[in-house]
Amino acid sequence: MNSSSYKNYLLDCKKSINKDKKINLCSIETTDLSLDVFRNFDKVKQLASNIRYKFINEIDKNLIIFDKNFTENGGNIHWCIAYDDFMEKLLRLLDKENIKSTNIFSSMFTEELGVETIKDESDIKINPKTNDSIIFAPQFGIINSGSLFLNFNSAYDMELVLGSKLKIFVLPINDFLFKIEDIEIFSHLYSIYKNKIDYPYLTSVYTPSPLEKDNNVHLFLVDNGRSNILENKDIRKALTCIHCDACKKVCPVYNIIGDKPYDNIFSGPIANVILPFTENIESYKHLAFSSCTLCGNCSKICPVNIPVSELIISNKHYFFENKYMDIQDNRLTKNLSKTLLFRNKMNAKKFIKNLKIKMLLNSSITEKYIFTKSTFNQQYQINNNNESNKN
């Protein structure tokens, strides 16, 4: 790959590698806790996966129901396409409400939206003590009740948010559950995988009420590239992610390179799948090829059964078939597949394969670093024959 983003990515990877770091990829020690909480953990994971996938597959219909219920409860919804649109609408609201300072509760989504930049784009100050106006990202929206599920870091935060006169919530279009009863299972799964505790400490289901005096509740529902993922049926499942970070903890590549090479709020295995679509393919396509060893740890650990490594393979196919790869890489892939798909060519003599790969890569790689005398398939056949002769 020749793109400058790929070259910068490689440079950052080299800088980030910490050779002394010890990596334990065997488990993230959730098993005992999961079995304490759920009798049949596999069944729970499947149930969680079904709930989230059912929502995503009919997201348009479900969001309309939520909009109706939330509005009937007295809340106001602002639909936003991306950052610019969101920021414009947010500043307009703050101006209309004559807000001079607001309290922003930092989270992954407020960072993704760059909410804190309002201090650069306007005269509004950020005040961590005020509850005149707050900006907060709920964990989920609840379709059937038109409510929001809030997860707090402290009782102080909880008091400020729930007691605020002007409540501004921000939520991506994919973080929803159907009903209040669903919260139980997702709270357990999220806490076990994210924080190794069996349930979050401080949560609240917040439903705006039209009967409340001075009810001033606003929800900004932001797409920010998610609909690009929805359009691609093969990787749509990535939108069911609950942001528990478990896949990061078991990824051998992420454990070595960390966040920096991603240059984005999203990082790790699930970022390899979604960033080319939420940002742009040209700047992030290299993640499918260079950030994954296809070990499958991420798919195995995911509490909502997202087949993360399979989705990364799916991205590779998509980029190849839709001609997003550089001419050079395209030629290389086509030529390699002519050999890799045929067993007799793979089992050809070592010097023939080395010669071909040198011509293909146009490089001076020495023979000893490329093919061994016999392939794994040949060694397997020899071992198998020896075993059957013994028997």
Residues that bind ligand SF4 (CB under 6 A): 241-247, 270, 301-304, 306, 308
Distance in Å, CB of 8 to ligand SF4, minimum: 25
Burial class (CB in 10 A: 0-12, 13-18, 19+), 289: middle
Q: Do 102 and 134 touch, CB atoms closer than 8 A?
A: yes
Contacts of residue 126, defined as CB under 8 A and 6 or more positions apart, other chains included, come to 101, 102, 103, 104, 116, 118, 119
SS3 annotation, 180-207: CCHHHHHHHHHHHHHHCCCCCCEEEEEC
Indicate the residue among 90 and 270 with the shorter CB distance to ligand SF4.
270
Distance in Å, CB of 195 to ligand SF4, minimum: 12
Indicate the residue among 90 and 189 with the shorter CB distance to ligand SF4.
189
Distance in Å, CB of 47 to ligand SF4, minimum: 14
Indicate the residue among 242 and 325 with the shorter CB distance to ligand SF4.
242
Distance in Å, CB of 316 to ligand SF4, minimum: 18
Contacts of residue 170, defined as CB under 8 A and 6 or more positions apart, other chains included, come to 86, 109, 110, 113, 115, 135, 136, 137, 219, 220, 222
Indicate the residue among 90 and 192 with the shorter CB distance to ligand SF4.
192
Distance in Å, CB of 248 to ligand SF4, minimum: 7
Distance in Å, CB of 55 to ligand SF4, minimum: 14
Distance in Å, CB of 254 to ligand SF4, minimum: 10
Radius of gyration of the chain (CA): 25
Q: How many C-beta atoms surround the C-beta of residue 345 within 10 A? A: 13
Q: Do 188 and 38 touch, CB atoms closer than 8 A?
A: yes
**How far apart are the two ends of the chain, measured CA to CA in Å?**
51
Indicate the residue among 134 and 306 with the shorter CB distance to ligand SF4.
306
* CA pseudo-torsion sign 350, 352, 354, 356: negative
Indicate the residue among 103 and 224 with the shorter CB distance to ligand SF4.
224
Q: How many C-beta atoms surround the C-beta of residue 70 within 10 A? A: 25
Indicate the residue among 73 and 297 with the shorter CB distance to ligand SF4.
297
Chain centre distance of CA 217: 28
Distance in Å, CB of 34 to ligand SF4, minimum: 13
Residue with tokens 């609950």: 242
Distance in Å, CB of 389 to ligand SF4, minimum: 46
Distance in Å, CB of 72 to ligand SF4, minimum: 31
Indicate the residue among 77 and 270 with the shorter CB distance to ligand SF4.
270
* CA pseudo-torsion sign 33, 37, 38, 42: negative
Q: Which amino acid is at 113?
A: L
Residue with tokens 């870091």: 153
Contacts of residue 198, defined as CB under 8 A and 6 or more positions apart, other chains included, come to 33, 36, 37, 188, 191, 192
Indicate the residue among 177 and 270 with the shorter CB distance to ligand SF4.
270
Indicate the residue among 170 and 246 with the shorter CB distance to ligand SF4.
246
